[in-house]
Amino acid sequence: MGCCQSSFFYGKDHRPARNRSRPSNSGDVLPAFSEFSLSDLKSATNNFASDHIVSEVGRNAPNVVYKGRLHNRHWIAVKKFTTIAWPDPKQFAEDAWGVGKLRHKRIAKLIGYCCEGDERLLVAEYMPNDTLAKHLFHWENQTIKWAMRLRVALYIAEALDYCRAEGHPLYNDLSAYGVLFDENGDPRLSCFGLMENSRDGVGMLEYNRNGMITPESVVFSFGTVLLDLLSGKHIPPNHALDMIRGKNILPLMDSHLEGNFSTEQATVVSDLASQCLQYEPRERPSTKDLVATLAPLQNEADVPSYVLLGIPKHEEASPKLQPSLSPMGDACSRMDLTAIHQILVMTHYRDDEGTNELSFQEWTQQMRDTLDARKRGDLAFRDKDFKNAIDCYSQLMNSVHNVLMRVSNAKAEFVDVGSMVSPTVFARRSLCFLLCDQPDSALRDAMQAQCVYPDWSTAFYMQSVALAKLDMHKDAADMLSEASALEEKRLRCCRGP
């Protein structure tokens, strides 16, 4: 379908198609968030063979995680639920997409899901260096050093604070089993516990008492993780609280540390654990308080995590020859926001061709009037008035939302505003956010552009720049490579056989 410049809204089905995990030119790039087929996951896990199980924890419902390998040779972790845990497939898919948008260096990324028949599966990047529980309770070579325990506490607090800021403050069954170590030994929070509506087993004392997970109960669970880090073993929270209240910190400490810890730092951590475990939820600290308390304790910040954890250094694969980058790819690789701006201005809206365009005749005059907001945004964008462009594009989206609310009420159906806005608008506003030093917002808009137009290289390019601005350089490089591969694929299609 030809591109109509005045058209800025598209069809409802904006999610990437099934199996859109694309191998890139580098061969091992983590795929963009996608829906996987059951056959692909069976192939990756050897039909969910028992020798592929890496975790099997659960009280009220099965909670099995398998190690697998995709066709592009990338390792993944696959969590398998039952329909008891997730009876509503639509809810499962929507929650998975919500968690899949979270991108932070302290969280193991969710990269996809599968929802075929009675199957409910989540797919995440694989963390090769075991769980905190393994290193604390079942270690073979050496116990975790004190500095590493402090790093674990801070990194998980940072992950929880990020999730809270992004509107995902709830976490199911936070424990030492949900803290994973990546290839560099850096601790990361498992993404699986962020699926809010799961009926999976939740073993926290707070959950059992109130029957629901709250942000305060997550902080309570974080307090139990702090106790694990202090003691090196499972201690009932009430018993530990008695020890802490008695100011008797030494009997609480892990004897395997052999005294190699700071009593002053341990006292700060135990005091923080005590606050987290308070009976009254309102008396517990916020996630921001957790970060503020733990950050000053990091006195070996320059020592790599693999050294503190006592594991071999991860060797990067030999760099492969990269294809020559397009002007857009080159600008993004150099973080040249001015050049990116010039390219987006010149491209205008012609990249929106091929999306599922709807006719203006289906909408009201008020819907047509929202074009004015986009025109003003485009003028501001062209003139480098980026704050005004953000305001105009946001006004456009609010106007579309208001009209769609009335349409959906009349037709008794829900229409996602994100699917009705041009991907170019999201890409332009993403760049505006970058130029206004708001990389988190820029990343959200770039990911929304991908949702609207799953094969659009520009959406991936903008994500790479935002990720680099967030100091997530490996993810940025992966996204840049995938964008380049998509761009090359599109050029081949245009050239024909």
Q: Which amino acid is at 107?
A: I
Percent of the chain exceeding pLDDT 70 equals 75
- pLDDT at res. 418: 45
- Give the C-alpha separation, 413 to 115, whole Å: 22
Q: Report whether pLDDT(452) > 50.
A: yes
- pLDDT at res. 348: 85
- Give the C-alpha separation, 481 to 478, whole Å: 5
The catalytically annotated residue of 173, 228, 351, 378 is 173
- pLDDT at res. 315: 67
CATH architecture for segment(s) 130-309 = Orthogonal Bundle (1.10)
> Which residues have C-beta within 8 Å of that of residue 185, sequence separation ≥ 6?
129, 304, 305, 306, 307, 308, 309, 311, 314
- Give the C-alpha separation, 241 to 86, whole Å: 36
Please state the domain extents for the chain.
Answer: 34-125, 130-309, 327-351+362-407+420-494
Q: Report whether pLDDT(15) > 60.
A: no
Written out in words, the top-level CATH class of the domain with range 34-125 is alpha beta
Q: Report whether pLDDT(99) > 70.
A: yes
- pLDDT at res. 4: 32
Three-state secondary structure call for residue 64: strand
Q: Report whether pLDDT(177) > 80.
A: yes
Residue 181 main-chain phi, psi, to 5 deg: -115, 130
Torsional class of 27: left (φ above 0), alpha (ψ -120 to 50), beta (otherwise)? left
- Give the C-alpha separation, 264 to 260, whole Å: 12
- Give the C-alpha separation, 98 to 149, whole Å: 30
Contact 355, 2 (CB under 8 A): no
Predicted confidence band at 52 (pLDDT cuts at 50, 70, 90)? confident
In 10 A of CB 269, how many CB atoms? 23
CATH T-level fold of 327-351+362-407+420-494: 1.25.40
User: How big is the chain by its Cα radius of gyration, in Å?
Assistant: 24
In 10 A of CB 116, how many CB atoms? 15
Least confident of 61-75, 177-191, 220-234, 464-478: 61-75
- Give the C-alpha separation, 33 to 111, whole Å: 4
pTM of the model: 0.66
Q: Report whether pLDDT(266) > 80.
A: yes
Least confident of 205-209, 225-229, 256-260, 338-342: 205-209
- pLDDT at res. 324: 64
Q: Report whether pLDDT(36) > 70.
A: yes
Element of type H or E holding 396? helix 386-411
Which tokens is 33 given? 């968030």
Contact 476, 484 (CB under 8 A): no
Instruction: Say if residue 409 is exposed, middle or buried (CB neighbours under 10 Å; 0-12, 13-18, 19+).
Output: exposed
Residues 125-139 pLDDT 10s: 999 999 999 999 988
Task: Look up tokens 């598209």; give the residue.
Answer: 10
Same CATH fold, 327-351+362-407+420-494 and 34-125?
no
Residues 345-390 pLDDT 10s: 988 888 776 554 443 344 455 555 566 788 888 898 999 999 998 9
Q: Report whether pLDDT(167) > 50.
A: yes
Name the H helices within 236-296: 237-245, 263-276, 287-294
Q: Could you tell me which of 437, 442, 479 has the C-alpha nearest to residue 333? A: 479
- Give the C-alpha separation, 443 to 450, whole Å: 11
The angle formed by the CA atoms of residues 336, 340 and 345, to the nearest 5 degrees, is 150
Taking each helix axis from N to C terminus, what angle separates 263-276 and 237-245, rounded to the nearest 10 degrees? 130
Q: Which amino acid is at 133?
A: A
Most confident of 68-72, 209-213, 474-478: 474-478
- pLDDT at res. 367: 55
Task: Look up tokens 């917002």; give the residue.
Answer: 441
Active site residue 130: no
- Give the C-alpha separation, 462 to 443, whole Å: 7
Q: Which amino acid is at 353?
A: E
- Give the C-alpha separation, 259 to 243, whole Å: 18
Contact 120, 85 (CB under 8 A): yes
> DSSP letter string over 117-179?
TT-EEEEEE--TT-BHHHHHHS-SS-PPPHHHHHHHHHHHHHHHHHHHHTT----TT-SGGGE
- Give the C-alpha separation, 241 to 252, whole Å: 10
Contact 6, 97 (CB under 8 A): no
- Give the C-alpha separation, 201 to 61, whole Å: 5
In 10 A of CB 79, how many CB atoms? 22
- pLDDT at res. 228: 92
Beta strands of 254-386 (E only): which ranges? none
196 DSSP 8-state letter: T
Mean pLDDT, rounded, for 415-430: 73
Contact 170, 215 (CB under 8 A): yes
- pLDDT at res. 321: 39
Which tokens is 177 given? 């089993």
Instruction: Give the up-direction half-sphere exposure of residue 193: CA atoms within 13 A in the CB hemisphere.
Output: 30
- pLDDT at res. 492: 72
- Give the C-alpha separation, 360 to 167, whole Å: 34
Residues 281-321 pLDDT 10s: 999 999 999 999 999 999 898 999 999 998 888 765 444 43
Q: Dihedral angle at the C-alpha atoms of 50, 56, 58, 63, nearest 10 degrees?
A: -60
Predicted confidence band at 432 (pLDDT cuts at 50, 70, 90)? very high
Predicted confidence band at 393 (pLDDT cuts at 50, 70, 90)? confident
Q: Which residues pair with residue 75 across a beta bridge?
A: 69
Q: Report whether pLDDT(417) > 90.
A: no
Contact 396, 377 (CB under 8 A): yes
